[in-house]
Amino acid sequence: MTPAPSPIASPNDLEAFWMPFTANRAFKKRPRMIARADGMYYYTPEGKPIMDGTAGLWCCNAGHKRRPIIEAIQAQAEELDFAPNFQFGHPKVFAAAARIAALAPGDLDHVFFAGSGSEAADTALKIAIAYWNVLGKGSKTRLIGRERGYHGVGFGGISVGGIVSNRKFFGSLLAGSDHMPATYDREKQRFTKGEPEYGAHFADELERIVTLHDASTIAAVMIEPMSGSTGVLPPPKGYLKRLREICTKHNILLIFDEVITGFGRLGSAFAAERYDVVPDMITFAKGVTSGAVPMGGVIVRKPIFDAFMNGPDNAIELFHGYTYSGHPLAAAASLATLDIYRDEGLFERAKMLEPIWADAVMDLKEEPNVLDIRTLGLVAGIDLASRPDGVGKRGYDAMEHAFHEEGLMVRLTGDTLALTPPLIVTEDQIGEIVEKTRRVIRAVAN
């Protein structure tokens, strides 16, 4: 008698997987399945092409199925599948760290690896608090974030993060965290290409927070140079420089969360370069391997690193790390990905395409229910009016219609559609993405 197939082996069994950041019941009624990818496209199990308008999840900057990355991962798996980076090391992780540090501005010279952007955020926050401790300033423990900010899903990241749904179910979080206001004012910033003229003064709210808590209690400020997951909020002109000035004045560390903006998304290796601001730490992930293998990390300025390098040589300087920090496969994927970015000039390509992208997406401003469009680098956020019966319903219908009827993947935040294509996108493909999006917006007009 032939045994019955395992439920796990059945392609129709969707129940076991509790999907992250997903409306599980709605998805399982009408799945949006992806079976393979190549270049600018995903493909369903039936072979239908789905244009990738989101670079996976803001991460596949070099596109999909890139042979150099695939071959590097395969070769590394054959040579060394895993090696611990606690008290031991392997060559490629040192090479990857050097390459990443070389892309960072100023004296951001040292890289601490993690496995994801969430781990990177919590790592940076722990380094900040530990840094002040080793300097004998243990009262500096308070962490400051920003409303509508996203820094992953660790307890540190959601404590300084400012997206309500990510916080409200999880208790009081880290004590003492505080938040600056978001930088968005629709009335004064609507339909802006690039950095809005209005809003630099939002940085001055940090002065109020310092007055309230005193600088002697504040360890660090963590922000995204461009708020991504909340719906694409570019920084106002002068805002980031003003934050840097205030943090320097009050001896507070400034952390840029560049998990989304790093590796070419805004036309440079890091947003810190675009805005000519040197933070004290930069977190990264996603684009560092073009999404092929999970990897994240923190780039740290030399004085911070040096502050830990005291005591006996055999003493551990920082009691922190992850089993998969600097995993061999991730390091190999990172080196191959960085080669592609360099050899194909993808950062420069994104900068060249930025005005073309902005003009194309802004052409949607007269479509029904479009309240605002924001563009920066190869990113766009399109705000749609909510339906009377609930926030997010129009956006969800737009995402579904885009996938099933238009063959386009878009990112959804409430009723905001985010478009973030791989950096290999062509001008013709930009036009195709925009026209598909136009038809989607019209399809959900009622």
pLDDT tens profile 225-240: 999 999 999 999 999 9
Tell me, yes or no, whether 138 and 23 share the same domain: no
User: Domain boundary at 343, 360, 390, which?
Assistant: 343
Tell me, yes or no, whether 158 and 268 share the same domain: yes
9 pLDDT band, cuts 50/70/90, is very low
User: Domain boundary at 281, 310, 343, which?
Assistant: 343
Tell me, yes or no, whether 350 and 303 share the same domain: no
- Contact yes or no for 220/125 (Cβ under 8 A): yes
136-182 pLDDT, tens digit each: 999 999 999 999 999 999 999 999 999 999 999 999 899 899 999 99
With respect to residue 145, please indicate whether it lies within any of the assigned structural domains.
yes
CATH of the domain at 182: 3.40.640.10
Sheet (strand 49-52) strand order = 36-38, 41-43, 49-52, 408-409
CA–CA gap between residue 198 and residue 201 (Å, rounded): 8
Tell me, yes or no, whether 176 and 306 share the same domain: yes
- Contact yes or no for 158/171 (Cβ under 8 A): no
375-433 pLDDT, tens digit each: 999 999 999 999 999 999 999 999 999 999 999 999 999 999 999 999 999 999 999 99
Percent of the chain with pLDDT over 70: 97
Residue span of the structural domain in which 239 resides? 69-343
- Residue 172: its pLDDT value, please? 87
With respect to residue 266, please indicate whether it lies within any of the assigned structural domains.
yes
CATH of the domain at 44: 3.90.1150.10
With respect to residue 113, please indicate whether it lies within any of the assigned structural domains.
yes
Tell me, yes or no, whether 387 and 314 share the same domain: no
64-111 pLDDT, tens digit each: 999 999 999 999 999 999 999 999 999 999 999 999 999 999 999 999
The reported pTM is 0.96
353-367 pLDDT, tens digit each: 999 999 999 999 999
Tell me, yes or no, whether 310 and 392 share the same domain: no
With respect to residue 176, please indicate whether it lies within any of the assigned structural domains.
yes
User: Domain boundary at 322, 343, 364, which?
Assistant: 343
243-302 pLDDT, tens digit each: 999 999 999 999 999 999 999 999 999 999 999 999 999 999 999 999 999 999 999 999
37-48 pLDDT, tens digit each: 999 999 999 999
Is the pLDDT confidence value at 11 over 90?
A: no
With respect to residue 28, please indicate whether it lies within any of the assigned structural domains.
yes
Tell me, yes or no, whether 41 and 181 share the same domain: no
With respect to residue 180, please indicate whether it lies within any of the assigned structural domains.
yes
- Residue 351: its pLDDT value, please? 98
Domains contained in the chain, number: 2
- Residue 136: its pLDDT value, please? 98
Average pLDDT, the chain: 96
Is the pLDDT confidence value at 33 over 90?
A: yes
Tell me, yes or no, whether 45 and 163 share the same domain: no
Tell me, yes or no, whether 32 and 138 share the same domain: no
- Residue 12: its pLDDT value, please? 67
Tell me, yes or no, whether 15 and 79 share the same domain: no
With respect to residue 139, please indicate whether it lies within any of the assigned structural domains.
yes
Tell me, yes or no, whether 373 and 238 share the same domain: no
Tell me, yes or no, whether 227 and 356 share the same domain: no
The crossing angle, in degrees rounded to 10, of helices 427-443 and 346-362 is 40
